[in-house]
Structure 1
Amino acid sequence: MSLLPFSTVDVFTKTRFGGNPLAVVRGGEGLSDRAMQAVAAEFNLSETTFVLPPADPAHTARVRIFNRTEEMAFAGHPMVGTAFVLAAADPGLATVTFEIPAGTVEIKIERNAEGAPLGATVAAPQPLNLGETVAPEVVASMLRLAPGDIVVTSHPPILASVGNPYVIAELSEAALSRCDPDLAAFRDALAAHPQFGTRMSVHVYCKHRRTLRARMFAPLAGTWEDPATGSANAPLACLLLSLEPGTDEARFEIHQGVEMGRPSLLDVTARRTPDGIRATLRGTCVPIMKGEIDCG
């Protein structure tokens, strides 16, 4: 019998049972990919991470991220939450470097005056990469909206990534609360765009200057709606900065999870750099559970 310690934390919130829950499993070097996926499905959260020894001893850990159905190259709330769990176990930890499939992620720990961890700031592993546009009618169909609910004055719906791709679309404020994912329409959209991978994740938002409200839907990956999505809000912030050619840096306050009853707050900054537009995202965490999982 193999018992592995795990912790769960709520990420991008200061309130217990708010934000986006994450399970962090320590160890598991001997687990197969299939076993890790089974553990993630058992937790049934948006993501579960496994903290493993790094390939490079100069780094803190290799971290594998699984949603309910597959491994992910990068995800924001798992980076913040995993760093928070490690910081709680090591009072001297100030920065961490994680190896993930999308690259190397640098994370700064935030602590209070007593030294207890509060949260972390994550540098996304890749600069903004913009892909194909998607017809407003396709996004509207997936979310049971009218095509006119999709705002295209700033940009059309477009595939964007800083390590994990999302279709990003702006909505009217009234339409944001009316989103209702249509699973069949998601399947049809993916069949028409197989180059988008297996998830066909849609991130929608409305904005008032630098304050945004957002929702993310990935029902084909088992996440009907996500309460906080760092890997979607980071490219969103980069995309918005790209639309302001005279601006070198922009900071956004992004609210997500409101409609789910799990309000989340993400602080995302996008910056122009020599290799493209890059993002950092900051969030706080609340510890919830600790235990052991029997991996057989």
Structure 2
Amino acid sequence: MLPFSQVDVFTDTLGLGNPVAVVHDADGLDEDAMAAFARWTNLSETTFLLTPTVPDADYRLRIFTPGGELPFAGHPTLGSARAWLEAGGQPRSGDRLVQECGVGLVAVRPDDDLLAFAAPERMRSGPVDPAEVEAVTSALGLHAHDVVTAHWCDNGPGWMGLLLRDAATVLAVDGDRAHLLGASGAHDKVGLVGLHPDGDVALEVRAFFPGGVGEDPVTGSLNAAVAQWLVAEGTLPDRYVAAQGTALGRRGRVHLERDGDTTWVGGRTVVGIRGTVAL
């Protein structure tokens, strides 16, 4: 029996964010057992807390979707950090903790009542080839005039980001068409973003993901890379809040901040389940 937590991330209300399943003390599990349990939870991600292999890290994290392992993902990073802290974890540094994962070391800091991670550098960036954009827009039922620009936002999961005309255009996309992305040969990890005209929320975000997930409720990795892209271009300010999950009846809120060369991605977290799991 291993300690187990389920944490709702990017929300202050259980049920309105994005849940992650967290298995503690998982050093005795092999990769096949981790992958099988992730398929069984059927959440967008399931994580496993392990002993770090480098002295600067507080813990090591492996992240699985129902379809396979990811080197990094945002909401699992924050949810796992919250679970680790609640289980009595003590950071080596007083003001932040350090997660070891597939992309290396990721810093996580408390920020008032938020946790925020330092976004890793993008593995791929720059404009997307127009033919690839056309394949995605066709699969999602969008028209060329709906897309302002497209950019690679790959910090591990492999996101393609499309800036659409506005938030309303993002919300109007039929999420049931997400399964057409991979089936049609289009890139299958796609983030749609659109600016809100006013209010406390600057950006509306939707993320489509393969492997049985479909539309992801709230996506830290995508928001991180979008901020690195659109803040650098001057489209968004150095500090803003993004909404995600609206089309799914969620109320995800992602807090983005550029501080020097670092982009911090923050959100509130709620531990909804505490117990043990028979693995």
Shorter-chain TM-score range: 0.7 to 0.9
Question: Structure 2 matches for 1:237-252, cutoff 5 A?
Answer: 237-244=227-234, 250-252=238-240
2:168 maps to a residue whose letter is A
Question: Matches of 1:42 and 1:284 in 2, distance apart?
Answer: 26
Query: Which residue is 1:76 aligned to?
Result: 74
Q: Does 1:216 align with 2:207?
A: yes
2:205 maps to a residue whose letter is A
Q: Which runs of 5+ in 2 are unaligned?
A: none
Aligned residue for 2:184, secondary structure, equals helix
Query: Which residue is 2:125 aligned to?
Result: 130
CA contact under 8 A between 1:205 and 1:214: conserved in structure 2?
Answer: yes
Deviation at 1:235, TM superposition (A): 0.8
Aligned residue for 2:172, secondary structure, equals coil
TM-score (norm 1): 0.83
The one of 24, 28, 31 aligned to 2:29: 31
1:242–1:67 distance in 2 versus 1, CA, 3 Å = same
CA contact under 8 A between 1:142 and 1:185: conserved in structure 2?
Answer: yes
TM-score (norm 2): 0.88
1:140–1:171 distance in 2 versus 1, CA, 3 Å = same
1:28–1:98 distance in 2 versus 1, CA, 3 Å = same
CA contact under 8 A between 1:119 and 1:282: conserved in structure 2?
Answer: yes
Deviates more, 1:169-178 or 1:227-236: 169-178
1:84–1:185 distance in 2 versus 1, CA, 3 Å = closer
Query: Which residue is 1:279 aligned to?
Result: 263
Question: Structure 2 matches for 1:186-225, cutoff 5 A?
Answer: 186-190=182-186, 200-208=188-196, 211-218=202-209, 220-225=210-215
1:119–1:141 distance in 2 versus 1, CA, 3 Å = same
Aligned residue for 1:24, secondary structure, equals strand
Deviation at 1:57, TM superposition (A): 3.2
Question: Matches of 2:161 and 2:264 in 1, distance apart?
Answer: 18
Aligned residue for 1:98, secondary structure, equals strand
Query: Which residue is 1:142 aligned to?
Result: 139
Question: Structure 2 matches for 1:1-296, cutoff 5 A?
Answer: 3-90=1-88, 93=91, 94-110=95-111, 118-126=113-121, 129-131=124-126, 133-135=128-130, 136-150=133-147, 152=148, 156-172=149-165, 173-180=167-174, 181-190=177-186, 200-208=188-196, 211-218=202-209, 220-244=210-234, 250-271=238-259, 273=261, 278-295=262-279
1:137–1:235 distance in 2 versus 1, CA, 3 Å = same
Question: Matches of 1:288 and 1:158 in 2, distance apart?
Answer: 36
CA contact under 8 A between 1:83 and 1:109: conserved in structure 2?
Answer: no
Count of residue correspondences: 268
Q: Which runs of 5+ in 1 are unaligned?
A: 112-117, 194-199
Larger relative strand fraction: 1
Deviation at 1:184, TM superposition (A): 3.2
Aligned residue for 1:46, secondary structure, equals coil
Aligned residue for 1:87, secondary structure, equals helix
Q: Percent same amino acid among aligned pairs?
A: 33
Question: Matches of 2:248 and 2:274 in 1, distance apart?
Answer: 25
1:134–1:183 distance in 2 versus 1, CA, 3 Å = farther
- The alignment's C-alpha RMSD in Å is 2.3
Deviation at 1:108, TM superposition (A): 1.1
Deviation at 1:269, TM superposition (A): 1.6
1:24–1:91 distance in 2 versus 1, CA, 3 Å = closer
**Superimposed CA distance per residue, residues 7-66 of structure 1 (whole angstroms, 9 cap, x where no aligned partner):** 001000001111100111002212221110111111111111100000013321110011
Question: Matches of 1:290 and 1:130 in 2, distance apart?
Answer: 39
1:106–1:17 distance in 2 versus 1, CA, 3 Å = same
1:41–1:139 distance in 2 versus 1, CA, 3 Å = same
